[in-house]
Structure 1
Amino acid sequence: MSTVRIACATVNQTPLDWTGNLKHIIASIEEARNTGVELLCLPELAITAYGSEDLYLSYWFPKKALKQLQTLLPYCQDITVAVGLPVRIESKVYNCMAVIENGELLGLVAKQFMAIDGVHYEFRWFTPWEAYKIVSLDFFGKPVPLGDIIFEKNGFKYGFEICEDAWRAAERPGIRLKDRHVDIVFNPSASHFAMGKTLQREELMKNSSILMDATYFYVNLLGNEAGRMIFDGEILVADKGRILLRNELLSFQDFQLCSFDYQKDLSNYPDITHQVDKNHEFVQASALALFDYLRKSKSKGFVLSLSGGADSSTIAVLVAEMVRRGMQELGLEKFIQKIGIPFQPTSDNPVKEFVGKIFTVAYQASNNSSTDTFESARLLAEDLGAVFYQWEIAEEVQSYTSKIETAIGRKLTWEQDDLTLQNIQARARSPIIWMLANINNALLLSTSNRSEGDAGYATMDGDTSGSISPIAAVDKYFILQWLQWAEKHLQYEGLKMVNSLQPTAELRPSENHQTDEADLMPYSLIVEIERLAIRDRRSPMDVYLILQEELGYSDQELKDYIKKFFRLWSRNQWKRERLAPSFHLDEFNVDPKTWYRFPILSKGYEEELHELDTL
């Protein structure tokens, strides 16, 4: 029976890193050839990195990508390689897969459907290709076909659906590939990570293999390419509705290669099943994102204002997990080489020792801070190995306050100036923690979460200050349960006290007993409202009618919470516009640069909220 050894390789690429990107591709080709692979598929836009943004619109960028493709040809002797790149034809740019065999370019397949939802804006850069259309491209003096074409290897026909192509139901190119009797379909992708998304992909791959009566190969990009989006590097093989191959996701490696011996009858292959744990996905994706961000920005570490509360404690654990997981997968020597920070361990715990080298935290106490949160921060920093500082900001707060009191001719009071007196404490912390980040040549980590982003429950230029905001796309309800999971499963003793405390900003005097949920609403309810209002784009009335049947709140209480959410959402868009870059980790986020755009100025759902009062 005829066979062909097929491999898929996921690569961790970086925009404008021409040398590094090509190096990863060549290394994967060499490993594939050395293991007897005959046909290798790499991801979409692997030559340039998917996250190259408006560089695609220039003339020189796609031209240089073609030059890189030409450079790649000699490395493809005795093997067939498919690799993604942008191709400009006159004024239009196309997202293509180039197929090379024995050092010759056989042709290019162009993507037919663009991803335009959520974090994707492909119509800004690329033009969809027409079904069945084939043109001739001048490739450095040699004409090669470009368009809707298929290929053959060892007597097997194969074709491509490029990422979004596969998600278009009856319109998808795969329907026509079936009519052309292909045996194998490749889906080279740049599909962003989101918790739980792998299950959607698996279902699509299984259904696709049945629909097309073909073996379906999926390969995704890997890592935090350009700052926000994370790629999980997933590789899947599906046949007759069964998953036959699946790799470990979110690797710290430069590339991963998985091979598969293909033949017509694959009934002897076992069906692979697995469970998805969002808690594990969250920490693994965040750890990889921090690792790539740190090394690609050429920074020397992280600085964090550690309050002892849930958000900053989550981020602190993620940094420690970045070190632990990176060293565990890569080994100490390769981890240090990749991260680019010199290190020679002097203890039997290099993970904790290296955390202390790159991670500095500070507890910045105001007059309203408690001993509980101080102890919570101190114990966690000690458990992780982070450098821990503490200082008081009362003098700075008093200095600012007295100056404004002199200027306006009156004393500030909690009764009249509550928000002002809260905010000045958060803002007074920002300059000094930035100083520490600058001294260390480190990235300052901002601690805002998605629930706070919804409601604007954050002080601009205070707790929003930072280079990156790792958890800004994750809701607070998830974070609170994740910390409980992390204490048990990651075994951080320092989380015990964190998990015993009720979330509070600690910006009002202690006798006020301030809590975050009393200031806002229950975090579990914020999640339900935001999913309907932001993810599903429902009106206030729709949100009320749906939640009225699902939750145990009184009608008036639910109406009041919904009104509060929409009013706070509307008036705080300007804050979301200014949040530090965040990682996309969940099915949606509220970053206007990557997922949900909303006007800075609006009437704030005034008429829509009034309708609730008419019920």
Structure 2
Amino acid sequence: MKIAGATVNQVPMDWDNNTRNIIDAIGEARRQQVAILCLPELSVTGYGCEDLFLSDWLAEKAWEEVLQIRAHCMGITVSVGLPVRIAGITYNGACVISDGKILGITFKQYLARDGVHYEPRWFDAWPAHKVVTLARGEESIPAGDLIYDVAGIKMGFEICEDGWRKDLRPGYRLRDRGVDLILNPSASHFAMGKSTVRERDVVQEGSSLFACAYLFTNLLGNEAGRMIYDGDIILAQHGRLLAVNKRFSFLPFNILVCDVNFRQPAASEVIPSTDTKERNEELTRAVALALFDYVRKSRAKGFVLSLSGGADSSACAVFVAEMVIRGIRELGAKGFAERVGLPAADDTWQQTVGRLLTCAYQGTRNSSTNTYEAARVLAASIGAVFHSWTIDDTVTAYTQKIEQAIGRTLTWEQDDITLQNVQARTRSPIIWMLANIHRAVLLTTSNRSEGDVGYATMDGDTSGSLAPIAGLTKVFVLQWLRWAQQELGHDGLYLVNNLQPTAELRPLERHQTDEADLMPYAVLAEIERWAIQERKSPVEVYHHLQHVGEPAQVKAWITKFFRLWSINQWKRERIAPAFHLDDINVDPRTWCRFPILSSGFARELQALERA
């Protein structure tokens, strides 16, 4: 029997887009004579509808779309995901349509409630074994914990989080009920390395534990702004991997078909995978697809970037270039241009970048020729439009006004932070003007390490509407840039990769560097790991980091981290929307909540001094 998964690139509440993608995927599956097709979790509405899942009308509209979709399901069995409201409560369902008839709706039994997920806010978990009958028009439809018989093949569901619950997985009960096939429609967010775990622990292990074929189908793309879906489709049988698709497609849908022999599993088709799990490549593909979806779904006319010549802004520029390179590779130059709202043209990738990315170097008397050259050379290498101007006259005007108001001259000895911040903030209005002129998305360049300790100027370098690298540590960004130069051929990074990270906000003779202001970035990343990801106290962090330096120095670094973390929560609350890219991020909207006002770990840091 031919079994298939179809990944679709959806948008919350975009009924025309979502239903068209589903119908097109079904049409392709029928052309390939597929018997059973699994589409992702909540594929009708989109996964990211947030509090709209609590409204009656959204579920009603989703049901109307399902009725349209079933007309295209003749001669095939299809699972589509949608929310279902019962007595004022929303459930997450997989609706099974076979040969135009709705056989039933299976509901999700476990809800994701950690990390980026807040599902219990919108959905209730469905109890095991419970089955009800829903009245929809003149139809009576079974719903709940169901299994289905399709041409003699018994089929059941684990819906996303169901498959991650180890010993509690519904698959154990499905095995006891004799299923031959488990479908797992998912909206499983991207994080570096997660696909490997998903493949091994959810799909292969599930197929082995439950002695069946197991099909996992994920959503695709940057659906709602923050989370990215890789479009993973994975099929295994009795512990053997049969097929894995190539992830991060720029197409509206992808389908993976495999011929599964349920009577003789050894005779099932095995399809070699062309996907890669290498961390840097995986990350690049994820951000490229996320930027592609963000610019076209927001209907913006491209991107604007304040390109300083430093690591972070350079990474953002290269990610935009990779979006174009990879998009053209899959869609062709004309096809890519049309998808992002540009007039179709058979341009080179550099010419297309020039139509989408505008950069500006905003220098001051504290800027070096090294960073200017790094910015200019990089922009030229990728084809971006490049402007350069200085902001000293505006900084001077602001400074003179405040000096007149307070009756004294500002000095670096007394007003260091003030004099640094005014430069960063002065850059903001003019770069916003450029973004408004182009009707473009203004990219901010803060990384996760800066978010940890507030090493960013609010309304300055944090200004913008999208923060593509706010989910990455500075350590990762620096090594990624070296990798991009060596492995992706971005030779325009050679000056960037030879510079020491610096804000360039103090006079040049003061030799400002980021690590002198903060601490070594590698140490900061290790403290973040234990303090934020593992949620350890200052003393516990110290026990894990004693090896990185002298005790007094290590304690000083840890103290600085916790103090800066505590007083800068308000900054993290205002970071522009950011992509979730790793096992951790510090965006309070999608991973790490922390009070704006707190004790600042006062007693805990006293205990650290005594440790």
TM-score class, shorter: over 0.9
Q: Does 1:106 align with 2:103?
A: yes
Query: AA paired with 1:249?
Result: R
Q: Which residue of 2 aligns with 1:600?
A: 596
- Does the CA contact (< 8 Å) of 2:258 and 2:270 recur in 1? no
SS in 2 for 1:51: coil
Q: Does 1:67 align with 2:68?
A: no
- Does the CA contact (< 8 Å) of 1:49 and 1:225 recur in 2? yes
SS in 2 for 1:411: coil
Q: Which residue of 2 aligns with 1:146?
A: 143
2-side partners of 1:32 and 1:337: how far apart? 26
SS in 2 for 1:60: helix
Q: Which residue of 2 aligns with 1:331?
A: 332
Q: Which residue of 2 aligns with 1:369?
A: 367
* TM-score, normalised via structure 2 length: 0.98
SS in 2 for 1:75: coil
Query: Deviation of residue 281 (structure 1)?
Result: 1.0
SS in 2 for 1:494: helix
Q: Which residue of 2 aligns with 1:185?
A: 182
Q: Which residue of 2 aligns with 1:580?
A: 576
CA RMSD of aligned residues (A): 1.1
Query: Deviation of residue 271 (structure 1)?
Result: 8.6
Q: Which runs of 5+ in 2 are unaligned?
A: none
1-side partners of 2:371 and 2:176: how far apart? 65
Number of residues of Structure 1 aligned to a counterpart in Structure 2: 607
SS in 1 for 2:540: helix
SS in 1 for 2:598: coil
SS in 2 for 1:50: coil
2-side partners of 1:610 and 1:543: how far apart? 14
Q: Which residue of 1 aligns with 2:483?
A: 485
- Does the CA contact (< 8 Å) of 1:473 and 1:590 recur in 2? yes
Q: Does 1:29 align with 2:26?
A: yes
Q: Which runs of 5+ in 1 are unaligned?
A: none
Query: Deviation of residue 358 (structure 1)?
Result: 1.2
Stretches of 4+ moved more than 4 A in 1?
A: 268-275
Q: Does 1:249 align with 2:247?
A: yes
User: Equivalent residues in 2 for 1:145-184 (5 A)?
Assistant: 145-184=142-181
Q: Which residue of 2 aligns with 1:591?
A: 587
User: Equivalent residues in 2 for 1:106-145 (5 A)?
Assistant: 106-145=103-142
Q: Which residue of 1 aligns with 2:555?
A: 559
2-side partners of 1:331 and 1:32: how far apart? 24
Query: Deviation of residue 342 (structure 1)?
Result: 1.4
Q: Does 1:356 align with 2:354?
A: yes
- Does the CA contact (< 8 Å) of 1:242 and 1:271 recur in 2? no
2-side partners of 1:240 and 1:178: how far apart? 12
What is the identity percentage for the equivalent residue pairs of Structure 1 and Structure 2? Answer: 57
1:328-375 Cα deviation digits (max 9, x unpaired): 011122212211121424xxx521111111110000001100000000
1-side partners of 2:549 and 2:12: how far apart? 49
Query: Deviation of residue 171 (structure 1)?
Result: 1.5
Q: Does 1:435 align with 2:436?
A: no
Query: Deviation of residue 508 (structure 1)?
Result: 0.3
Query: AA paired with 1:585?
Result: L
Q: Which residue of 1 aligns with 2:7?
A: 10
Query: Deviation of residue 514 (structure 1)?
Result: 0.5
Query: AA paired with 2:43?
Result: A
Query: AA paired with 1:378?
Result: R
- Does the CA contact (< 8 Å) of 2:312 and 2:445 recur in 1? yes
SS in 2 for 1:502: coil
Query: AA paired with 1:33?
Result: R
2-side partners of 1:67 and 1:553: how far apart? 63
Q: Which residue of 2 aligns with 1:236?
A: 234
- Does the CA contact (< 8 Å) of 1:327 and 1:351 recur in 2? yes
2-side partners of 1:147 and 1:459: how far apart? 51
- Does the CA contact (< 8 Å) of 1:223 and 1:292 recur in 2? yes
Query: Deviation of residue 73 (structure 1)?
Result: 1.4
Q: Which residue of 2 aligns with 1:400?
A: 398
1:230-257 Cα deviation digits (max 9, x unpaired): 0000000112222110011111110000
1:490-545 Cα deviation digits (max 9, x unpaired): 11111000000000000000111100011111111111111111111111111111
2-side partners of 1:606 and 1:399: how far apart? 41
2-side partners of 1:386 and 1:138: how far apart? 57
- Does the CA contact (< 8 Å) of 1:77 and 1:101 recur in 2? yes
2-side partners of 1:84 and 1:318: how far apart? 32
